Amino acid sequence: MLRINSQYRSYKNSLLNGPGYSPFELFWIRTEDINRFTGVDYNNSYIKNPEQRTDFQTIPETHSNYPQPQGAFDVKDNIGKVLGGRWDKETTKFENYFIYKGLNEYFVDGVDWESTQYFKTAAARIQNGYTQRGCESIKELRAEEEHINKIYENMDQFGYIPQRGISSNITHEIGVNIGRNGEFLFNAYGKHRLSIAKILNIDYVAALVIVRHKKWQKVRNELSTSDSFSDLSEVAKSNLSHPDVDNKSLFY
């Protein structure tokens, strides 16, 4: 029943994007273009603000890696939606998050696993009652080093592989939202994969678009329906090469 309800919500959301649109379409996005988190928006009932998010509930506020304010949309309820608001305004850098910083320390700087910011912050979360990537104890967190290394080695050898070729959960991909100016903002799933892709300088990753900003959707609609390049607004012309544009080939 949960799966059916999720599919129905996704179908309704897809209607907002026009016929032929699939909310589960994968986009290959330049890794360097996903560099900020979705922001907070306390006037938006759809978004989970810090007080509702596990990251903020389980990392002690006094911890050096307590996250900067971030928001996120629930994937099952919101994939394919077009929403207004300020969630694309006050954004924070992805590279400042403890997962990226810790994995960069480990793979680039050669810091011992248990001395990384990743391990120290994850340990604080476990001690605060949170399960970090399935780890319920410090012992299990120590063993996680091997799994992280396997992800790194596979990505280094084969590049980025979409999760739908590995997992039966088709929403378990890197999730992004698109702000009013077409910018990609990280949503929720895939922090480890995106971090490792950045560390390995992998050019593109596969991602699901969860929510589009209303103002961006207007640009997208214009680009999808215009018959002539000369009819486009300057904003639309500047976004002809955007991955989220349907009919950009008409203008080349």
For residue 5, pLDDT beyond 90: no
pLDDT of residue 250: 41
Q: What is the mean pLDDT of residues 47-68?
A: 61
In a domain, 168, yes or no: yes
Q: Tell me how far apart the alpha carbons of residues 70 and 93 are, in angstroms, rounded to a whole number.
A: 10
Task: Establish if 174 belongs to a structural domain.
Answer: yes
Q: Residue 11: inside a domain, yes or no?
A: yes
Q: How many CA atoms lie within 13 A of 242 on its CB side?
A: 23
In a domain, 199, yes or no: yes
CA–CA distance from 235 to each of 5, 34, 99, 240 (Å)?
37, 21, 35, 9
Q: Model-level pTM? A: 0.84
Domain that holds residue 75: 2-54+68-94+164-251
Higher model confidence: residue 23 or residue 48? 23
Integer CA distances (angstroms), 120 to 2, 60, 102, 116, in order: 36, 12, 9, 6
State the pLDDT confidence band at 54, using cuts at 50, 70 and 90: low
The answer, yes or no, to whether residue 86 has pLDDT greater than 60, is yes
User: What is the Cα–Cα distance from 7 to 144, expressed in whole angstroms?
Assistant: 33
Burial of 67 (0-12, 13-18, 19+ CB in 10 A): middle
> Could you tell me if residue 62 is inside a domain?
no
- Say what the pLDDT of residue 37 is: 94
**Position 189 in a domain:** yes
Greater model confidence, 194 or 127: 194
The answer to whether residue 240 scores a pLDDT higher than 90 is no
Would the pLDDT of 14 be above 50? no
CA distances from 19 to 41, 68, 171, 176, 182 (A): 30, 38, 21, 22, 21
Q: How many domains does the chain have?
A: 1
If DSSP codes are grouped into helix, strand and coil, which group holds residue 82?
strand
* Residue 182 confidence (pLDDT) above 90: yes
Q: Does 110 fall in a domain?
A: no
In a domain, 147, yes or no: no
Please say if the pLDDT value at position 16 is more than 70.
no
- Please tell me the distance from the alpha carbon of residue 72 to that of residue 50, in angstroms, as a whole number: 9
Of 249 and 83, more confident: 83
The percentage of the chain sitting over the pLDDT mark of 70, rounded to a whole number, equals 81
pLDDT of residue 68: 67
